[in-house]
Chain A
Amino acid sequence: MTTKPPLVPHPTVVKLRELRTAAGLSLQGMQEEHFIPAVVIGSYERGDRKPSVNRLDEILHIFGYELVAVPIGSTVLPSGQAHVWTHDEAATVLASIAAFLATDGPTRVDPAVLADVTRRIAEQRTGGAG
């Protein structure tokens, strides 16, 4: 019998505290202005409890955000639109990064990481083993 790895909580939950503070809301404020008990929000933020999808979206709505589904590998633009990179676009960006790395300027990007990403994209393009 094959065993599938356990499903892990989605990282969306861990950002709640960050989003709340960015919105200038305290736990008490959430309770008084939006009628969501402070203890409940706190437990979501700590990961002690998982909100329902409806409750999570309700909270995000208060913070000025929403949940969307975007294709894996896409980039969510500041407008909220998902942009799926084509292989050619990705190759152009990688070539630009490679050119930058080849200069004498300071860099914190590990060339080995870049090489690995380039290899993965090449494999995808050629339908190689993933």
Chain B
Amino acid sequence: MNPLVNDLLRQLADRRKEVGMSARDLAEKVRVNRQTVAKAESGEVPPSLRILTAMADELGCDVRIVPRDGAA
């Protein structure tokens, strides 16, 4: 698993807990099963871009492209 993507997924998992949403609720909103959300958050199975952005959207976040630290 790409460590940068892992960070992003961890951010979203933290955000879900912050807003008090269960993995089941998030899965229902994104229209996937709970296992997909759980495996995405743990980094076990990276989600598709569609699911990632849908998860972020439901959690009140945008997925953006930003310059990498230290990149030219």
Given contacts A10-B53, A50-B49, A69-B8, whether A64 and B61 have CB atoms under 8 Å apart is no
Hey, which chain B residues are within 8 Å of A68, CB to CB? Answer: 8, 11, 63-64, 66
**Complexed CA–CA distance, A74 and B61 (Å):** 9
In the complex, per-residue mask of B9-42: 1 if CB is within 8 Å of any chain A CB, else 0: 0011001000000000000000100000000000
Question: What are some 29 contacts across the A-B interface (CB < 8 A)?
Answer: A10-B53, A12-B63, A12-B64, A50-B48, A50-B49, A53-B48, A53-B52, A54-B2, A56-B49, A57-B5, A58-B2, A61-B4, A64-B68, A64-B71, A65-B68, A66-B66, A66-B68, A67-B64, A68-B64, A69-B8, A69-B11, A69-B12, A69-B15, A71-B60, A71-B61, A72-B62, A76-B66, A78-B67, A80-B69
Interface residues in chain B, defined as those with a beta carbon under 8 Å from any beta carbon in chain A: 1-2, 4-5, 8, 11-12, 15, 31, 46-50, 52-54, 56-57, 59-69, 71-72
